Structure 1
Amino acid sequence: MSAILVVDDSATVRDDVASFLRQQNLTVITANDGRDGLQQLQRNTHIKLVICDVNMPHMDGLTMAEKSRSELQSKVPIIMLTTESCPKMKERGKAAGVKGWIVKPFNGPGIIGAIQKLVTA
């Protein structure tokens, strides 16, 4: 069973994204910060995609992406969902293997095709 991991410190955003994905018949796991997200990636080998915020307490999304690659050797695609549009942050994300950068607010219908493609790849 494939799953999508949604990582955001905002319960509202996390729940909105997870709810939309579940309405598309996708399995969703949630985490409330990068540290929790990294633990979920380590525990759940059936995660096929991560949708992650950048700015979070305890561990930000870019650090989580970097650690998922370096410490867990994870190849799971990561998409950032954030209010950040700084080119330096995007470069850091790209270096960490981030596959996409979506500026909030979340537009599920606009990106569901890309999400489904990544999950089934």
Structure 2
Amino acid sequence: MRESMLEPMPQAAPGASSEGAVVKLLVKGFGAMEHRLLQGAVKLSQRRAPRIDLLADSEAASADVVLVDATEAAALQWSALQPWLAGKAVIWAGAKAARPGHMVTERHVMWPILPVLLYRALEQHGNARAATRAHAGAGRVLVVDDSLAVRHHLRSLLERRGIEVTDVATAEAGIEACAAASDIACVLMDVLMPGIDGFEACRRIKARGRAAPPVVMLTSKSSPFDRVRGKMAGCDTYLTKPVDPEQLHDVLGRLVSHNATPSSPPSERTPA
């Protein structure tokens, strides 16, 4: 949909840095002529809020909004190598679709109303984060994995979505955490761990009946036999490593919101 030139300019962009007066923008792709138009829009923004600051590639991770030319191969290749983009407000110019929280606009960007586009992108991103928090309610996601690197990676993926995370290194600690806390919304359970494995830990957690949270098995083992063992242990679904961030987000949205409905019997859950 083409943006209207008559739309009023926003006074402040929600989620922007420096008390909402500055939007840090990273732009990837576009031609020389468009970059001149971009520079003009940035210069004009210095006279009114929100002011736009263009970032260099070295400052990419601190951007409030990332604007990507989705028709340029180099820009798309760069984007594919930046996992942190999932947690940012991103505008895809010329794309047919985008992940939740990201925004699509026409390839021929209307640079004079760039502040409006940035405002919309931040607003859409904020709404998506709020929806994710609503899925999780007041609960936490418990990550059970003996690998510190995996625990840190999963924590990073989830906290970018506004989800509170607790992590432990052993299956025994995971069982204890589920028994001691009533606010665990979902468990991400590794399979191969020292001592009790993930299958046995899942079985013990699920022994609590309807009080048990959903359990997602995460492992590099993807044989049909392992999936059968996971289902026999009571797991709700089974994801293989490395975990796709969007698939994990979708699974959590489905399982956590489903589990939060008191009237839903356990049989209504759909295992993978």
Q: Extract unaligned runs of 5+ from structure 1.
A: none
Structure 2 residue 217 is matched with structure 1 residue 62: no
Write out per-residue CA displacement over residues 27-52 of structure 1, whole angstroms, 9 at most, x where no aligned residue: 11111111111011111111111111
Write out per-residue CA displacement over residues 67-107 of structure 1, whole angstroms, 9 at most, x where no aligned residue: 1123x444311111101113222112101211111110021
Structure 1 ranges of 4+ moved more than 3 A: none
Q: 1:120: Cα distance to partner?
A: 2.3
Equivalence for 2:178: 41
Give matches, 1:78-97, under 5 Å.
78-97=215-234
Equivalence for 1:17: 154
C-alpha distance in structure 2 between counterparts of 1:110 and 1:86, whole Å: 19
Other structure's SS at 2:221 match: coil
> TM-score by structure 2 length?
0.42
Structure 2 residue 246 is matched with structure 1 residue 109: yes
Other structure's SS at 2:236 match: strand
Q: Is the 8 A contact 1:6 1:31 kept in 2?
A: yes
C-alpha distance in structure 1 between counterparts of 2:252 and 2:142, whole Å: 12
Count residues in correspondence.
120
Matched to 1:94, the amino acid is K
C-alpha distance in structure 2 between counterparts of 1:60 and 1:66, whole Å: 10
Matched to 1:102, the amino acid is L
> TM-score by structure 1 length?
0.91
C-alpha distance in structure 2 between counterparts of 1:102 and 1:113, whole Å: 12
C-alpha distance in structure 2 between counterparts of 1:45 and 1:90, whole Å: 28
Equivalence for 1:31: 168
Identity %: 29
C-alpha distance in structure 2 between counterparts of 1:67 and 1:14, whole Å: 21
Matched to 1:38, the amino acid is I
> Could you say which structure has the larger radius of gyration?
2
Other structure's SS at 1:98 match: coil
C-alpha distance in structure 2 between counterparts of 1:106 and 1:88, whole Å: 20
Q: Which has the bigger relative contact order, CA under 8 A and spacing at least 6?
A: 1
C-alpha distance in structure 2 between counterparts of 1:37 and 1:46, whole Å: 14
Matched to 1:17, the amino acid is L
Matched to 1:114, the amino acid is V
C-alpha distance in structure 2 between counterparts of 1:77 and 1:45, whole Å: 13
Q: Extract unaligned runs of 5+ from structure 2.
A: 1-137, 259-272
Q: Is the 8 A contact 1:37 1:64 kept in 2?
A: yes
Computed over aligned residues only, the root mean square deviation of the Cα atoms, in angstroms, reads 1.3
